[in-house]
Chains A and B, each alone.
Chain A
């Protein structure tokens, strides 16, 4: 807590409360006239108002000074960041989205989290090709020109890495929401439905119960996707938030598989194969498998179940002062719409239902807000989301009772943030 009297934009209590001012004047009368004088000057008002700033009294910069706009230089604290020690090679690593400072549900393209398996490329779109083959009547090749002539759809969906919050299975290990939940983004994607392409090639969707998606990067990442997903809402996307995909997110073409973990959203997508069996690729046998207490791995755990997190206030932030706060966070479900979010301020004993901000979309982030007046006492903040199937986001102890602590993947536990008496917020787990 930084104290109301010393905050930017606040004037000393003297001006707000004359009686307080007089008392204070008497109290410090003997302690030095100069200090009193300084207080008086300050008490006349906020220098940000009383002194004309240079931006109000001189000429600003011209149009198109930046052909592609950039955030304010005062926003440079909010960056994608790696979690030190998580990986040893930055080409096979993660950069987390700074959820602690974001609003609404759309992730700015430049802050979309990154996960690469063998580094990223900025591929020439004129040289990029997509092949659809396997159990199809006619295997076909599409250029970007071809794909962008097809009937396009635009949909807002979240993408979450299956390993998001994976560092917290055993205990608390990272300090902020950027690192606990930042393998999470939500964008408007534009592309052609995968169903349209499969239909165009005459895919045998009865025998062909699965498709394989393959990337064009060095890792040639491959994932099996259920035909039901492929025909339902999967998109072969080139657009993201009104512009082309960013190179770090698969420019010029990626797969969008709503509700399914990020690894299946194959970037730099070059090939779709229709087949009658799952492939059991490296990303389905050695990674993205969930270790259970009995030593077996769960395979093909794709759906990102209902989850939420309070993003403000959150870990390693400090509340400015006692008083009113808009507690804000994100909720999402890989099985459909979020129907309700409850927030607790006492570590899960009592809950209040938060306000969901429209739009509330299927398999998209949903923003929730709730007012809270902090009285200065320690508190533990939690959020708990419920989706349209009636599924209630579980507590960490409930997850551990079934899945143990070594799963790495699919930790959708209720997150707890402790607010200490000094206003510091920290990451904790409660029973």
Chain B
């Protein structure tokens, strides 16, 4: 009877499955072992969390061996990654919101932001240690989670974390109520929260500059002239007139431009030595501009009758760089 029912069901159901099988021969069922091997995620409601336990004390030992070199013994190091612990108070634990997050300029630590304990457990389990991911045992992950929580005084030093009490600890996270969903920015058809209108003429914008690159920061991203194409409507600007070009970067330019064929560092060749030029113009505040123009346009008469040929191929910033290099050489 049972067999008969099965047979009937088979005939009833199987053709339907066959009909849905659009891509015959593509893919195969995943085995239970395969799913178990990869299905490691732990959701906010702790779905997926494996059973296990670990104490703060055990965690401290694992931490010292596998984590402290990057994060510091107390999770407060800022040397390699932003700090994990710090910035939370007993009041925050009561309230479920971290007060320090309301203050500008505060360094944001992991425990200050953490709203879901599952995320901490899951991340340690899947991604830590940094250079040996997914090598920690389940109990080690519990222990490390407990240790981190103890650094924020969220659990006492005697605490043992396990799959049964983790939801209770969630209720003590300092920033557990610190998240707000943003539906308008999650749904592609949602509405944004900031409005502008497309004014075209005499718009209210004042157009006053309220922020610009501080001069000292202009060189922070290397030689910007060398981050732009050699041709086109623009060239890269020099990093800053305040940045002193070093001999290492300028000498090749001087060689390429043919300067050193006529000007020795200390010897007069066809033209004056670089040292002579530096001596003559060093105290002249307008020298950089004057000499850069001469380098590009050529000149004659100051040092004798042999003319200096023009160098129209040099950019203004290159000419100035060369002149600065000459004037600062000794």
- CB neighbors of B among A179-223 (8 A): 179, 199-200, 202, 212, 214, 218-220, 222
Which residues of the other chain, A, contact B205 by a CB distance below 8 angstroms?
A: 347-349, 395, 430-431
Q: Taking CB as reference atom, which chain B residue is nearest A258?
A: B188
Find out whether the CB atom of A35 lies under 8 angstroms from the CB atom of B207: no
Find out whether the CB atom of B229 lies under 8 angstroms from the CB atom of A101: yes
A118 to B110, alpha carbons, bound, how many Å?
A: 18
One digit per residue, 1 when the CB lies within 8 angstroms of any chain A CB and 0 when it does not, for chain B 213-251 equals: 100011011101011111011111101000000000000
- How far does the Cβ of B84 sit from chain A's closest Cβ, in whole Å? 10
Find out whether the CB atom of A74 lies under 8 angstroms from the CB atom of B230: yes
Find out whether the CB atom of B237 lies under 8 angstroms from the CB atom of A424: yes
Find out whether the CB atom of A171 lies under 8 angstroms from the CB atom of B211: yes
A83 to B131, alpha carbons, bound, how many Å?
A: 23
- How far does the Cβ of A136 sit from chain B's closest Cβ, in whole Å? 10
Q: Taking CB as reference atom, which chain B residue is nearest A199?
A: B22
Which residues of the other chain, A, contact B313 by a CB distance below 8 angstroms?
A: 8
Which residues of the other chain, A, contact B201 by a CB distance below 8 angstroms?
A: 350-351
Assess whether A38 is interfacial by the CB under 8 Å rule. Answer: yes
- How far does the Cβ of A28 sit from chain B's closest Cβ, in whole Å? 10
- CB neighbors of B among A275-294 (8 A): 275, 277-282, 284-286, 289-294
Q: Which of A118, A140, A295, A424 has the most CB atoms of chain B within a 10 A radius of its CB?
A: A295
Assess whether A334 is interfacial by the CB under 8 Å rule. Answer: yes
Find out whether the CB atom of B119 lies under 8 angstroms from the CB atom of A31: no
Which of B96-104, B144-152, B156-164, B263-271 sits within the interface? B96-104
Find out whether the CB atom of B127 lies under 8 angstroms from the CB atom of A430: no
Which residues of the other chain, A, contact B317 by a CB distance below 8 angstroms?
A: 318
Contacts A38-B309, A175-B221; A31 near B301 (Cβ below 8 A): yes
A407 to B25, alpha carbons, bound, how many Å?
A: 48
The 8 Å CB contact of A301, one of B185, B198, B203, B310, is B185
Which residues of the other chain, A, contact B218 by a CB distance below 8 angstroms?
A: 175, 316
One digit per residue, 1 when the CB lies within 8 angstroms of any chain A CB and 0 when it does not, for chain B 260-302 equals: 0000000000000000000000000000000000001111110
A118 to B130, alpha carbons, bound, how many Å?
A: 7
Q: Taking CB as reference atom, which chain A residue is nearest B31?
A: A141
Which residues of the other chain, A, contact B306 by a CB distance below 8 angstroms?
A: 34
Assess whether A160 is interfacial by the CB under 8 Å rule. Answer: no
Which of A15-23, A105-113, A235-243, A385-393 sits within the interface? A385-393
Which residues of the other chain, B, contact A179 by a CB distance below 8 angstroms?
A: 221
Which residues of the other chain, A, contact B229 by a CB distance below 8 angstroms?
A: 75, 77-78, 101
Find out whether the CB atom of B300 lies under 8 angstroms from the CB atom of A35: yes
Assess whether A100 is interfacial by the CB under 8 Å rule. Answer: yes
Assess whether B315 is interfacial by the CB under 8 Å rule. Answer: yes
Find out whether the CB atom of A402 lies under 8 angstroms from the CB atom of B193: yes
Find out whether the CB atom of A425 lies under 8 angstroms from the CB atom of B234: yes
A285 to B43, alpha carbons, bound, how many Å?
A: 12
User: How many chain B residues touch A (Cβ–Cβ < 8 Å)?
Assistant: 111
The 8 Å CB contact of B182, one of A300, A319, A406, A427, is A300
Find out whether the CB atom of A289 lies under 8 angstroms from the CB atom of B179: yes
One digit per residue, 1 when the CB lies within 8 angstroms of any chain A CB and 0 when it does not, for chain B 195-211 equals: 11111111101111111
Find out whether the CB atom of A403 lies under 8 angstroms from the CB atom of B194: yes
Find out whether the CB atom of A280 lies under 8 angstroms from the CB atom of B44: yes
Which residues of the other chain, B, contact A281 by a CB distance below 8 angstroms?
A: 41, 119, 122-123
A295 to B95, alpha carbons, bound, how many Å?
A: 13
- How far does the Cβ of A289 sit from chain B's closest Cβ, in whole Å? 7
A83 to B220, alpha carbons, bound, how many Å?
A: 9
A427 to B212, alpha carbons, bound, how many Å?
A: 6
Contacts A150-B23, A279-B43; A226 near B122 (Cβ below 8 A): no
Apart from A317-B234, A347-B207, A386-B198: 11 A-B pairs, beta carbons within 8 A = A139-B29, A175-B213, A218-B130, A218-B134, A219-B133, A277-B45, A294-B102, A297-B180, A350-B202, A391-B192, A405-B104
The 30 sampled A-B contact pairs (Cβ below 8 Å) are A2-B316, A6-B314, A35-B298, A38-B307, A77-B227, A98-B227, A101-B232, A131-B30, A133-B35, A142-B26, A175-B213, A176-B221, A199-B22, A279-B43, A297-B179, A313-B233, A316-B236, A326-B233, A335-B188, A348-B205, A351-B201, A392-B198, A394-B195, A402-B193, A426-B212, A428-B209, A429-B209, A429-B212, A430-B207, A430-B208
Binding site for A on B (CB under 8 A): 20, 22-23, 25-30, 34-35, 38-41, 43-45, 79-81, 97-99, 101-102, 104, 108, 110, 113-116, 118-120, 122-123, 126-127, 130-131, 133-134, 178-182, 185-190, 192-203, 205-213, 217-218, 220-222, 224, 226-230, 232-237, 239, 296-301, 305-307, 309-310, 312-317
Binding site for B on A (CB under 8 A): 1-3, 5-8, 10, 31-32, 34-35, 38, 42, 74-75, 77-79, 81, 83-85, 88-89, 92, 98, 100-101, 117-118, 131, 133, 138-142, 146, 149-150, 171-176, 178-179, 199-200, 202, 212, 214, 218-220, 222, 226, 228-229, 232, 259-260, 270-271, 273, 275, 277-282, 284-286, 289-303, 305, 312-313, 315-320, 325-326, 334-335, 340, 342, 346-351, 380, 384, 386, 391-395, 398-399, 401-403, 405-406, 410, 416, 418, 424-431
